[in-house]
Chains A and B, each alone.
Chain A
Amino acid sequence: MGDLRLVNLTKQFGIFTAVDDLSLTVPQGSFFALLGASGCGKTTTLRMVAGLEEPTTGQVLLDGQDISRLRPYKRPVNTVFQSYALFPHLDIFENVAFGLRRRGVRDVAGRVARMLSLVQLDGYGKRRPAQLSGGQQQRVALARALINEPQVLLLDEPLGALDLKLRRQMQIELKRIQTEVGLTFVHVTHDQEEAMTMADTVAVMNAGRIEQLGAPAELYEYPASPFVANFLGQSNLLAGDVAGKAGDDVEVTAYGSRFSLPAGRCRADAGSVYLGVRPEKLRLAALVDEVPAGHQYVTGVVTDSSYVGVSTQYLVRTAWGTELSVFAPNSGVTEQIPLGADVAAYWHPRHAFLLRREPGAGDATQPLLEPVP
């Protein structure tokens, strides 16, 4: 099996631990994303796989072989760099042919032509990198790595420099190419949307460790930690305590109210917890009586509303002062709610989740700020 395995991988720069005892397996042929804010160690992890950084301890196994002490030019791994790092003195053809020529592969011209066609740059062979747009350069960088048919293709924020529209387009194209060639892609990004739309498996990294690893929907719908809950999108996390169990449900008290949710939605079943609900899972009702049966609610006052087209985003201030986010779809079914209105924000228990909370930690409703790459 050509799986990529990282085993107890650690990288220290002086006293700073960039990657902390990280272990994970990337199955062959999968599209794997390492997601995290800048400085979380995701790029360092990638560079250790590429061989551009030597691990302090731990192993990088590819197809069962330990490659962690192998020089980068001896590894069957290629990288698409964040800066593209195209060779400015070579034309596009020679840039793409670079790896083939170093390995003495035959039929360079044919392979390069096919690869340029795959990334839709037919006829660009004679141009210099500086004569290409950012998106075209990105595709050259991709072609230059892909043409070597590496066992693992590493992508280091390759879409970071592109504008939003081009980025969406390239995401689709990258995904198409990955499906077409069937290689293992390891994609490093700080853009949660990018990671979720492209990858089969996402590993959320924080401070050199993996916070949670799983399919995008699993990470989003059932986060394992407050960090993940507020890094992937946004969550309303209410500080509470577990009161006990009732059948398959876990009961929670928070701010004098009692809530319950299925045990299968609970990462903790005792002590200090966060009761979490995604903003789009919350609905607003003008009166408590209008809350449908089987739902749970908190009451508050609408303090802000932003109309963003597909939805309207409300802030609802609770009696204890926390502002909850509520995303109401503009499907034409509900009326816009005026500022200052008393409302009940309600949700179905199966849409809530329970996370372990540090005792003393308060409510958390803010998304982590999108870091600048």
Chain B
Amino acid sequence: MSTLSRRRGRLSPYLLILPGGLWLLLFFAVPIFQLGVTSLYDPSGSLEQGYAMTWAFGNYADALSQYWPHFVRSLVYAGIATVLCLLLGYPLAYAIAQKSGRWKNLMLVCVIAPFFTSFLVRTLAWKTILSDNGALVGFLRDVHLLDASGRLLATPIAVVLGLTYNFLPFMVLPLYANLDRLDGRLLEAANDLYASPARAFAKVTLPLSMPGLVAGTLLTFIPAAGDYINAELLGTPNEYMIGNVIDSAFLVRLDYPQAAALSFILMAAILAIVFVYIKRAGTDEVV
């Protein structure tokens, strides 16, 4: 082998990384650095007059003290939605992977089909479903689960339901990918070794599906915590999440330093939660 081709062989991993790396550098690393810089600008500046770099760490304290309820609300809503997605998604993924037989592909298409229409349009559809004059509210009032003036729209329930609906596929798909690989012979072995179906699930299926479960919960929780569409369309300002605050800080109030500081706090909070979660779940291979 010539020196040249050997050198090319050694370089090839770097050449493969190059396009994606450049893309990330330009559209992820540079903007996030810019965002970090912006978060430390003097908050008294404006878009017209420009901002002065004053290392204003106070921006963070201000953002937190002013908007901590929105942070808490975001994490709580996203957390509840994630749990609901798990409760709905695990049995669904299990059924598709293990029990669907020849319907498997059709069922997978059904899970993915919502992606063919826009996120926004689907959330607007939920506005109709949950509306005060809709069939659902009418039924719940008839069976007295809601009182006569009770409503679903513009409540925390509506926002959590919207989040659950929108992020369910992100839970189902990784779980499906994992459960599809589950070796049925292991369950037979567990049955043979005195484990009832319920025990076999707890001792074999569930532990083996942990990587899929962790991936699914992360893919659901992380975007749900930063979401603002559901709160905006299905809730009121009382249900606004931190995404709505950042949205308005950037686009309405034009307070760039604060918007950037809020974004960084959200990112740090999610990273911390994910880190602790993965440590506890003991599935390092996911990250």
A: residues with CB less than 8 A from B are 50-52, 71-74, 77-79, 81, 83, 85-89, 98-99, 102-103, 144-145, 148
Contact = CB atoms under 8 A, between A and B. Distances in A.
B208 A98 contact: no
A5 B199 CA distance: 30
Contact of B199 (A86, A87, A102): A102
A102 B189 contact: no
Contacts of B191: 51-52, 71-73
Contacts of B189: 79, 81, 85-87
B128 to A, nearest CB: 45
B203 to A, nearest CB: 8
A144 B191 CA distance: 13
Interface stretch (B115-123, B141-149, B180-188, B232-240): B180-188
A87 B195 CA distance: 13
Contacts of A88: 186, 208
20 contacts: A50-B192, A51-B191, A71-B191, A72-B191, A72-B192, A73-B194, A77-B192, A78-B193, A81-B185, A81-B188, A83-B183, A85-B183, A87-B189, A89-B204, A98-B193, A99-B194, A103-B194, A144-B193, A148-B193, A148-B194
B209 to A, nearest CB: 10
Interface residues of B, number: 17
A144 B186 CA distance: 13
Contacts of B203: 98
B10 to A, nearest CB: 31
Nearest to B199: A102
Interface string B145-187: 0000000000000000000000000000000000000010110
A353 to B, nearest CB: 41
A103 B204 CA distance: 16
Contacts of A86: 189
Given A89-B207, A89-B208, A83 B193 contact: no
Q: Is the interface of B mostly helix, strand, loop or mixed?
A: helix
B192 A87 contact: no
A77 B196 CA distance: 15
A313 B28 CA distance: 75
Q: Is the interface of A mostly helix, strand, loop or mixed?
A: mixed
Contacts of A145: 192-193
A105 to B, nearest CB: 10
B136 interface: no
B194 A85 contact: no
Nearest to A104: B194
Given A81-B185, A81-B188, A102-B199, A87 B204 contact: yes
Nearest to A47: B188
A71 B192 CA distance: 9
Contacts of A98: 190, 193, 195, 203
Given A50-B192, A81-B189, 20 more contacts: A51-B191, A51-B192, A52-B192, A71-B196, A72-B188, A72-B192, A73-B191, A73-B193, A73-B196, A73-B199, A79-B189, A79-B192, A85-B188, A86-B189, A87-B186, A88-B186, A88-B208, A102-B193, A102-B194, A145-B192
A74 B194 CA distance: 6
Contacts of A78: 192-193
Contact of A85 (B186, B196, B199, B207): B186
Nearest to A98: B193
A85 B185 CA distance: 6
Interface centre among A78, A98, A144, A145 (most CB of B within 10 A): A98
B284 to A, nearest CB: 14
Return the 8 tightest CB-CB contacts between A and B, nearest first.
A85-B189, A102-B194, A99-B193, A72-B191, A85-B185, A89-B207, A79-B192, A73-B194
B183 A102 contact: no
Interface in B200-246: 203-204, 207-208
A226 to B, nearest CB: 36
Contacts of A51: 191-192
B199 A83 contact: no
Contacts of B204: 87, 89
Given A85-B185, A85-B186, A87-B186, A73 B208 contact: no
A148 B194 CA distance: 10
Nearest to B191: A72
B194 A83 contact: no
A73 B186 contact: no
A71 B193 CA distance: 11
A129 to B, nearest CB: 11
Nearest to B183: A85
Contacts of A77: 192
A52 B194 contact: no
Interface centre among A71, A73, A99 (most CB of B within 10 A): A73
A74 B199 CA distance: 13
A83 B192 CA distance: 14
A148 B193 CA distance: 8
B185 A83 contact: yes
Contacts of B196: 71, 73
A340 to B, nearest CB: 55
